[in-house]
Each structure stands twice: as structure tokens, then as C-alpha cells.
């Protein structure tokens, strides 16, 4: 209960110092929103897109799930929460960018990588959800042969690419992308270095968009993008 009380105190501060203040962004946002960008991020407690990208309310439309997965376009009777959020962002809000935001030390990706072992049946829903990335995991493990920090990083990045590819299976997304009306970005938050990286189609690699923390010293033999 103590943890929850802290959140209520936090809301009171938010109301007084942000929501109700003069020139608060909420003065224009109380009735509607017009975000330009959708962010698909992991549910991880450390990777709040609004915090790490310093966004104001109303700037980004966010959907978060374990391992920031975009499932393929499947217009069937299932309850497709992620697809519904994507449809609303693209069709109703008419966002001009979709960012798939992955991150280092992702517990979902680690579980996926280790799911061939004893963890296979540990969770009722998580394993089924992560199975959307089984092909990705198998390709990574074929290259790295074992589950290590390095192979997990490779899988985190490959998972972002897979989600970007799945976005293009939505016919109304691929149409807008081809018409130049919508851009899809694959970003990676490296919590070791404090850097943001972006997937470059030309080089097929993740390259830094920002410099690392001033205090960051890469461990010997680590690749920049890891």
C-alpha cells in the first residue's frame, strides 16, 4: 500500500505543478489529442518512451507490451490489442511516424532466448505472446549457438526488425509508407551506454543517433552497437 500512496502524492504534485499551471500543455489537450508519432515500446519499467525521449503530453501515442512486439496483420476473431492501437493511430489520429522502440537487458527477449529450456511452460500467456518471435530467436541462435548477453542483444535488435516487417503486412500501413505519408523507425535504447540507436536500411545495422553517457566506458571487445 505504501507504494501506491507514493503515486497519489505524485499525482497531487503533477496536478499542482504541471496540469493546473499556466501554459500547461493540458490547457489545449483536455478535449482532444493530435500526436504526430506512435511509439511501440516494451512494458519494461525502465523504458517509458515519454520519459526517455522527454515528450510532452499529446506528442506520442504509445502502446507497450512485452518485448515491443508487433504481431502480423491477422484480421480474425481474436482480441488484437496491439493491432487495434496501430489502426487507431494510423487511421484516426493519422500519425506520420511509427517508432518500434526496443531496449537492452529486455527480460522478454531473455525469456524467449531461454524458452527452449525449463522456462518453456512457466507462464500461461507470456510464452504464447513471445512465440511471435520464435523464427527470430532460432535465426539468432543458429548464428550464436548459445544464450549470452551478446546473442540477447542480437535478438533484441532482430526483434525490432521483425516488428517493422510485420507493420508492413498491414495493407493500410504499407500503402501509406509507399506513398511517403508514413515513416517506420526501429530504435534501440542501450541502457549500458545511455545511447539511442536507429536501424539504417542502407547498412542493415543499428547506428547511434546520440552520443553515450559521458561516464560510459565500453567493456573490452564489445561492439559499439552492443
Least distance (Å) between residue 42 CB and Zn ion: 3
Least distance (Å) between residue 91 CB and Zn ion: 27
36-55 positions binding Zn ion, by CB under 5 A: 42, 44
Least distance (Å) between residue 44 CB and Zn ion: 4
Question: Residue 59 or residue 156: which is nearer to Zn ion going by CB?
Answer: 156
Least distance (Å) between residue 104 CB and Zn ion: 9
Number of shown-chain residues binding Zn ion (CB under 5 A): 4
Give the interface segment with Zn ion, choosing from 35-43, 52-60, 127-135, 175-183 (CB under 5 A).
35-43
Question: Residue 106 or residue 173: which is nearer to Zn ion going by CB?
Answer: 106
Question: Residue 164 or residue 173: which is nearer to Zn ion going by CB?
Answer: 164
Say if CB 171 and CB 158 are below 8 A apart. no
Determine, following the binding rule CB under 5 A, whether residue 153 of this chain makes contact with Zn ion.
no
Q: How far is CA 121 from CA 6, 130, 173, 178, in A?
A: 35, 12, 35, 41
Pairing state of beta strands 195-200 and 60-65?
A: unpaired
Question: Residue 90 or residue 155: which is nearer to Zn ion going by CB?
Answer: 155
Say if CB 116 and CB 124 are below 8 A apart. no
Give the span between the Cα atoms of 168 and 34, in whole angstroms.
23
Least distance (Å) between residue 189 CB and Zn ion: 10
170-209 positions binding Zn ion, by CB under 5 A: none
Q: What grid cell was written down for 89?
A: 493511430
64 phi and psi, to 5 degrees? -125, 145
Say if CB 131 and CB 71 are below 8 A apart. no
Q: Where are the alpha helices (DSSP H) in 88-170?
A: 107-114, 126-130, 134-144, 149-167
**Which of 103, 131, 101, 102 minimizes the C-alpha distance to 115?**
131
Determine, following the binding rule CB under 5 A, whether residue 106 of this chain makes contact with Zn ion.
yes
SS3 42: strand
Question: Residue 46 or residue 116: which is nearer to Zn ion going by CB?
Answer: 46
Question: Residue 170 or residue 188: which is nearer to Zn ion going by CB?
Answer: 188
Note the residues at the interface with Zn ion (CB under 5 A). Answer: 42, 44, 106, 108
Amino acid at each position: 500500500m505504501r507504494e501506491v500512496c507514493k503515486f497519489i502524492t505524485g499525482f497531487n504534485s503533477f496536478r499542482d505543478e504541471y496540469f493546473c499551471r499556466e501554459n500547461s500543455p493540458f490547457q489545449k489537450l483536455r478535449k482532444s489529442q493530435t500526436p504526430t508519432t506512435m511509439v511501440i515500446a516494451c512494458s519494461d519499467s525502465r523504458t517509458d518512451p515519454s520519459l526517455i525521449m522527454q515528450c510532452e503530453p499529446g506528442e506520442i501515442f504509445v502502446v507497450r507490451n512485452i518485448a515491443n512486439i508487433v504481431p502480423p496483420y491477422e484480421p480474425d476473431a481474436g482480441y488484437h490489442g496491439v493491432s487495434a492501437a496501430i489502426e487507431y493511430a494510423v487511421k484516426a489520429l493519422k500519425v506520420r511516424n511509427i517508432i518500434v522502440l526496443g531496449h537492452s537487458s529486455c527480460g522478454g527477449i531473455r525469456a524467449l532466448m531461454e524458452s527452449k529450456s525449463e522456462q518453456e511452460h512457466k507462464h500461461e500467456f507470456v510464452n504464447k505472446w513471445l512465440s511471435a518471435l520464435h523464427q527470430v530467436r532460432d535465426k539468432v541462435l543458429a548464428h550464436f549457438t548459445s544464450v549470452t548477453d551478446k546473442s540477447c542483444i542480437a535478438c533484441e535488435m532482430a526483434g525490432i526488425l521483425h516488428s517493422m516487417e510485420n507493420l508492413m503486412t498491414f495493407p493500410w500501413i504499407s500503402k501509406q509508407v509507399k506513398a511517403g505519408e508514413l515513416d517506420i523507425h526501429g530504435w534501440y535504447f542501450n541502457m549500458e551506454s545511455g545511447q539511442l540507436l536507429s536501424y539504417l536500411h542502407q547498412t542493415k545495422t543499428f547506428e547511434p543517433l546520440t552520443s553515450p553517457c559521458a561516464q560510459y566506458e565500453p567493456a573490452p571487445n564489445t561492439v559499439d552497437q552492443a
